[in-house]
Every structure is written in structure tokens, then in C-alpha cells.
Amino acid sequence: MTLRTPLICLALIALAGCTSTSGNWGWYVIDPTTPAGYNNIRFLLNGFGATILLSIIAAALSMTLGLIVALPGMSANRWIRLPSRIYIEFVRAIPLLPMLFWVFYGLPVVLKSFGISVSIDAFWGAIITLAISDSAFTAEIYRSGIQSINKGQTEAARTVGLTYPQTMRYVILPQAIKRILPPLANQFIYIVKMSAFASVIGMQELTRRANELVVTEYRPLEIYTLLILEYLVLVLIISFFVRWLERKMGADESK
Amino acid sequence: MSENSPAITISGLNKWFGDYQALKDVDLDVAHGERIVVCGPSGSGKSTLIRCVNSLEAHDSGTITVDGIEMTDARAVEAIRAEVGMVFQQFNLFPHLTILQNLTLGPIKARKLPKAEAEARAMAYLERVRIPDQAHKRPAELSGGQQQRVAIARSLCMEPKIMLFDEPTSALDPEMISEVLDVIVDLAEDGMTMIVVTHEMGFARRAADRMVFMDQGQIIETGTPEQFFTAPKSKRCQRFLSQILQH
């Protein structure tokens, strides 16, 4: 498998660091056999919960928002299509980090000027940003999945009397879902990785915790190595799930 | 919906695809029980014409009246589609459903028929197209000829008054054409009103009451199969017939 090479490289680097006497590596900061190292590891791993929760909520919102944007985007009427197109082009053009700052610092001000007084904490600020930013991509995934279904299917459905919602529900979506789910699951990996940006607004997730530990321990190499491994494990678990999903869908298609 | 009025009245029909005029002032009346075969070179507008009849293509000007319902708004389109069945060149069966589910989807969801009744009706029509034993398979497990017969049965399950066939045998291997045509002839003999776009001239001789020859978006010539094949009036029609009857 393609993953083997980078994993071996990582293991070799880690080994070299452990055995080196030159003092470049200081694994003691995350050595589970010492009380201090054990506490540090626990501190770092405690970020998993927030990263996972953040990603799951953001992904769920993004998938819902994406479908709401995608459906009018496929209308034959250009005026119905237009808002969807504008949304996608606009959102896709905004880099994640500036958008995060805007939502976290700016959005409460905007809302307040409309008389809505809500404070947006780091958790929801990150979720809103990730969900909106990602929804432009999920919308395109829905669109390409639905449009990949032959037009003849819609025509046949209409000739046997189905309405548009019925055609979507009983004919188009059951076929399109096989093409939509794998890229959608892939998009989830993107969200997990981008959730690291939440650290800059103070969200206590994996990256934030690593940063805080680096500040007190001053061992960035070891701590960030572990941080990368944390994301690697998370992403690997998701990609195995994606593979499984693809195999399952593929098997269904040949039936 | 009197039986004296024509099943389909098309008058002054025009249809554009961008700059290209696909139909030019087409007039056509189809009587109840009449079997019409439309032929002509590719790009002549024959498929577009029948696709306008159930509004799969929206026409730009002219009027279409089906069984007394003039196609004016979305509601009229729904009403017309309920009377008109259609069979496509590419079958367009629903690949994720079994044959039986393909046949019952419309009756159950659009007509609100109870499942048992819809299935009984579906089996009766599968019997009629001579493939009841395939009911629980998926479309991909069937041959092209069988799939097209399922598509015909699927249309019949909606109990239409009029059937449209858009080159029903053009996507089939030669050895499967006759099994599909036999089913259509069978329907014709039962008095179903139908418009068939096809190049199968043997079938046209056997089943058509009237031939319609189209070229460049216009109806050039109509007549009984007898007249049409033995003494075509227009040059274009003569040329077309000599080309397709050579083989």
C-alpha cells in the first residue's frame, strides 16, 4: 500500500531521534513512562474530542447547506440558478482563515447592528466558518452526482406521472447517492484537517493544545510530530471508512 | 373528451434549439385508434415532434391538444402526460429497481394505487409482453429486447390512451428487433392510438394506418403505407425510400 513508505520514513526519523545522543531530539516531553511526559500526552490527546465534534457538526451542516444550494443550482431557469452560482463562486473564493476571523470577530458586530445580540464562541465560530466554506464544495459534489444521472431517467419518471420531488426521491437520488457519498466522505477529511485553523481563535482542539504545550515545554519538533501523527490516525480511520463505502457502493452498482 | 374529436391535434408547431429551427409550422391530426408511423432522415425533427406531444420538449409556438386538453400550463401538461405513454430508444428503465418495481413505481406513487393492485396489474402487462418470469430481476440482467418490452409494459401500467414510440428498436441488436415489434403490433391490433418514430419499414407496412414523412423540421408527405411505399409524391421522399429500402 502507498501509505507504507511515509510511515516507515516517520518511524525511522523517530527512531533516529530516540537513539541519537546529539541532543537534537527530546522525546522525554512526551515519554509516557515519566509522569510529566504522561501528563503532556494526556493533555494533547484530550484535543481529539473537540476536533472530532467540531468536524462532525461542521460536516453535517455543510452537507445540508450544500444540498439546499445545489438543488436550485440545477434548475432550467437561470434566475433560480443564479443565486446558487453566486453563492458557490463567492464562498469558494474566500480563504478559510480570513473567513474565520470575519465570522469570529466581525459577525457578532454585524448581527448586533440588526439588533441580534449573540456572542459567537470559538467552537461555533469555527463550525459556522467550516460549514459555509465547505458547503460550496459539497454543493458541487451533489450537482455533479445528480447531473451524472442520465437525463432519460428524469424523462422516464415524468412520463410515468412522477412529480419533480418524487422523481428526485425515488429515481435520481437513489442512483446519485452512490456517486455522491464517496467524494462527500473525502470532503470530511478536508474538514478534519481544516479544523486545525480553529486553534487561532482559541478553540481547545488538537492543534491549539500542541501550540500551548510548545510554549511551555519548548520542544516543537517532538510535539508537532505527535500532532501530525494524531491527524494521521484520525484521517486514516476515515479513509478506511471511505474505502469500505466505495467498495460497498461499487458492489451495489454491479448488481 | 368526445370520441369524435381527434386524439391529438397539432397545429402551426414551431420549435427552436437556439438558432436551429427543429420544427417548422407542423400540422398533424391523429384520430382515436389511429396508428401513425413517422419516418425521415436523422435530424428531420421526428423525435422532437413526438417529444413535444407530452411536453418533454417545450414548443415555442403553435398549439397541441391531446384528447381535448390544450397544452397551456403546467397542470395541462400533467393531465396530458397521464394520457400519454412513451417508450424511448434507450429504454430508460430505472436500474436500481427490479422489473416489478419499475412497473409499479408510477401507479403507486403517482396514481396512489394500492401495492397489491399495482403488482397484479404489472404482472398482467409483463404477461402481455411475454416476460413474467423476469419480474424480480434488475434491468441490467435482461437483454435489450427484454428491457424494451419491460419499458413498454411500464408505460402500459399507467393505462394511457395514446402511446408514443421514439425509435424503439434503434438501440437493439438485430435479432431482438422482431420481439419488440411484435409487441407493438399486438398493441396496434388492440386499437391503441400510437405514433411510432421508426426506420423499420416492414413494421410500418404491417401496422401503420398512415405514414408521415419528415425532412428538415417539416412534414413533407403523408399517406397510407400503400401510397407511400409504391408511389411517393415528393422527390425527397423518393430519395429517402430508395436509400433505406436498398438493403
Cβ proximity of B169 and B202 under 8 Å: no
Residues contacting residue A124 through CB under 8 Å, at least 6 positions apart: none
Instruction: With beta carbons under 8 A apart, name residues in chain B contacting A249.
Output: none
Q: Please state, for a pLDDT cut of 90, what percent of chain A lies above it.
A: 62
pTM over 0.90, yes/no:
no
Q: Give the model's pLDDT for residue A244.
A: 87
Give the model's pLDDT for residue A254: 46
- What is the structure's pLDDT at A30? 83
Q: What is the pLDDT of residue B56?
A: 93
DSSP type of residue A246: H
Is it the case that residue A250 has pLDDT exceeding 90?
no
Supply the pLDDT for residue A29.
84
Give the mean model confidence (pLDDT) for residues A194-217: 92
Pick the closest to residue B131 from B98, B109, B108 (CA basis).
B98
Which chain A residues have a beta carbon less than 8 Å from that of B95?
A: 175
pLDDT, position A4 = 76
* Closest chain A C-alpha to B237 CA, distance in angstroms: 31
Beta bridge partners of residue B145, listed in sequence order? none
Q: Are A161 and B155 a contacting pair at CB < 8 A?
A: no
Per-residue pLDDT at B151 exceeds 70: yes
Of B222, B190, B202, the closest CA to residue B49 belongs to B222
Q: What order of strands is seen across the sheet that includes strand B162-166?
A: B84-87, B162-166, B193-197, B35-39, B210-215, B218-223
Residues of chain B with C-beta less than 8 angstroms from the C-beta of A161: 78, 81-82, 106, 109-111, 158
| The total number of residues written for chain B in this structure | 247
Say whether A161 and B90 touch across the interface (CB within 8 A).
Answer: no
pLDDT tens readout for residues A21-48: 556 778 888 888 888 888 988 998 999 9
pLDDT tops 80 at residue A251: no
**Inter-chain residue contact A162 with B110, CB threshold 8 Å:** yes
In this structure, what DSSP letter does residue A23 have? S
H/E stretch holding B29 reads strand B20-30
What ipTM does this complex have? 0.91
Tell me the mean pLDDT in the region A112-128: 90
Residue B16 has phi, psi (to 5 degrees) of -115, 140
Q: How confident is the model at residue A16 (pLDDT cuts 50, 70, 90)?
A: low
Burial code (b: 16+ CB inside 10 Å, e: under 16) for B183-214 equals: bbeebbeeebbbbbbbbbbebbebbbebbbbb
Position A251, amino acid: A
Instruction: List pLDDT tens digits, range A58-110.
Output: 999 999 999 999 999 988 889 999 999 999 999 999 999 999 999 999 999 99
Question: pLDDT for A122-148, tens place per residue?
Answer: 999 999 999 999 999 999 999 999 999
Tell if the CB–CB gap between A159 and B157 is shorter than 8 Å.
no
The pLDDT assigned to A253 comes to 53
pLDDT at A37: 87
- Min Cα distance A170 → chain B (Å) is 8
Q: What are phi and psi of B129, to 5 degrees?
A: -90, 10
Closest CA of chain A from B139, distance in Å: 10
- Of A123-127, B4-8, B195-199, the range with the lowest mean pLDDT is B4-8
Among the partner-chain residues B95, B151, B157, the one whose CB lies closest to the CB of A175 is B95
Per-residue pLDDT reduced to its tens digit, B89-134: 999 999 999 999 999 999 999 999 999 999 999 999 999 999 999 9
pLDDT tens per residue, range B28-57 = 999 999 999 999 998 899 999 999 999 999
pLDDT at A255: 43
Share of chain B above pLDDT 70, in %: 98
Interface test with B, best of A160, A169, A178 (most B CBs within 10 A): A160
Residues of B in contact with A150 (CB under 8 A): 90, 92
Q: Is B74 exposed, middle or buried (0-12, 13-18, 19+ CB in 10 A)?
A: exposed
